[in-house]
C-alpha cells in the first residue's frame, strides 16, 4: 500500500491543492446524477465539491492512506450516505463494482511511478464515453526542491525515486494506449509561496518530503527539512502541474 500521511496537519496548511482541485473539477461536465470516482481523494476536499456537483449521484473516494480517509470520514460525516470510501492502491484491481461516469484526480498521480499501469487500471472502471480529468506534478515539478534534497542526501538511485513527473508526449501516448480519446494534456508552471520558517518547514515535511522522511530516522527529520528549506532561493515550492482531460473511447 502507498505511504501514510499526517492528515490533520495536511488539512491545516495553505494548500495550493484547493485551486488545483477547483480548476480540475471545473473541466467536468455533469448533469447531477452521475457517479464520480475521486482517485487519491485524500481528506476529501474535492470529494465534498463533487457531492455538490452531483446532488442526485454518488462519489467513490479512493485513497491508499487510511489516515487521510479517517479525516475524510470526519469531514463528510453528514454526507457519507452518498460516498463510498475505499482504502486501495490505484494501480491494483479496485474493490468497487460497475463503472463510473467520470474519474477525477488531484495531486496524486506523481506519487505513482508506473503511469501505464495506472491508466490501464483506471480505464477499466470508467464507462465508455466517461470523462477523465486529472492533474498532478508534471515534468520539471519541484526541480529546486529536488536539487536541494540531492545536495543534502546525495544523488538518489533511479529505483529510489519517490516521484514521477511525466511530460505531455508520454502521457498522451499512455492515455491513448489505455483506451482514452479526446486527449488534452498540458504543463503549467504554478509556484506556491509560503511564509518562511514554521509554515514552510511544516509544508515541506507534510506535503512534499514525506517519502524522504519515511526513509530517515525520526531524530534526523527536523534537520533534514530545515536543511532543504535553507537551500531554496526563496520560500517557494516550484510546482509545475500536468493537466489531463480525456474520455474513455467508445467501442
Ligand X SMILES: C[S@@+](CC[C@H](N)C(=O)[O-])C[C@H]1O[C@@H](n2cnc3c(N)ncnc32)[C@H](O)[C@@H]1O
**95 or 129, CB closer to ligand X?**
95
Mark 50-89 with x for binding to ligand X (rule: CB under 6 A) and - for no binding: -------------xxx--x--------------------x
* Least distance to ligand X, CB of residue 3, Å: 7
The site that binds ligand X (CB under 6 A) totals a number of residues, namely 21
Contact of 241 with 20, CB cutoff 8 Å: yes
Buried b (16+ CB within 10 A) or exposed e, 181-218: eebebebeebebebeeeeebbbbbbbbbbbebbeeeee
The DSSP letter of residue 90 is T
| Interface segment toward ligand X; rule CB under 6 A; list 37-45, 152-160, 170-178, 189-197 | 37-45
Residues in CB range of 228: below 8 A, 6 or more apart: 145, 148, 149, 152, 204, 209
Buried b (16+ CB within 10 A) or exposed e, 24-33: bbebbebeee
Work out which of 49, 112, 232, 237 binds ligand X, going by CB under 6 A: 112
For cell 545536495, what's the residue? 151
Could you say which residues in the range 3-32 bind ligand X, by CB under 6 A? 5, 17, 21
- Residue 130 makes contact with ligand X by CB under 6 A: no
Residue 154 C-alpha cell reads as: 546525495
- Residue 47 makes contact with ligand X by CB under 6 A: no
- Residue 42 makes contact with ligand X by CB under 6 A: yes
Residues that bind ligand X (CB under 6 A): 2, 5, 17, 21, 40-42, 45-46, 63-65, 68, 89-91, 106-108, 111-112
Amino acid at each position: 500500500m502507498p505511504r501514510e500521511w499526517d492528515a490533520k496537519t495536511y488539512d491545516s496548511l495553505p494548500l495550493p491543492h484547493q485551486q488545483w482541485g477547483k480548476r480540475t473539477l471545473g473541466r467536468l461536465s455533469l448533469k447531477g446524477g452521475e457517479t464520480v470516482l475521486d482517485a487519491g481523494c485524500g481528506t476529501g476536499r474535492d470529494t465534498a465539491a463533487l457531492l455538490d456537483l452531483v446532488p442526485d449521484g454518488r462519489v467513490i473516494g479512493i485513497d491508499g492512506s487510511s489516515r487521510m480517509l479517517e479525516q475524510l470520514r470526519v469531514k463528510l460525516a453528514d454526507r457519507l450516505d452518498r460516498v463510498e470510501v475505499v482504502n486501495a492502491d490505484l494501480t491494483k484491481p479496485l474493490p468497487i463494482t460497475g463503472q463510473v461516469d467520470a474519474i477525477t484526480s488531484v495531486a496524486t498521480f506523481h506519487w505513482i511511478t508506473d503511469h501505464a499501469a495506472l491508466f490501464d487500471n483506471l480505464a477499466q472502471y470508467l464507462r465508455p464515453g466517461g470523462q477523465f480529468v486529472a492533474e498532478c506534478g508534471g515534468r520539471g515539478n519541484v526541480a529546486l526542491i529536488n536539487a536541494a534534497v540531492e545536495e543534502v542526501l546525495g544523488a538518489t538511485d533511479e529505483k529510489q525515486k519517490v516521484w514521477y513527473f511525466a511530460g505531455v508526449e508520454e502521457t498522451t501516448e499512455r492515455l491513448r494506449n489505455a483506451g482514452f480519446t479526446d486527449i488534452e494534456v498540458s504543463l503549467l508552471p504554478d509556484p506556491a509561496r509560503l511564509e518562511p520558517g514554521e509554515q514552510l518547514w511544516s509544508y515541506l515535511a507534510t506535503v512534499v518530503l514525506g517519502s524522504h522522511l519515511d526513509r530517515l530516522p525520526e531524530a534526523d527529520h527536523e534537520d533534514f527539512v530545515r536543511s532543504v528549506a535553507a537551500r531554496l532561493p526563496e520560500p517557494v515550492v516550484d510546482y509545475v502541474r500536468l493537466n489531463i482531460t480525456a474520455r474513455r473511447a467508445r467501442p
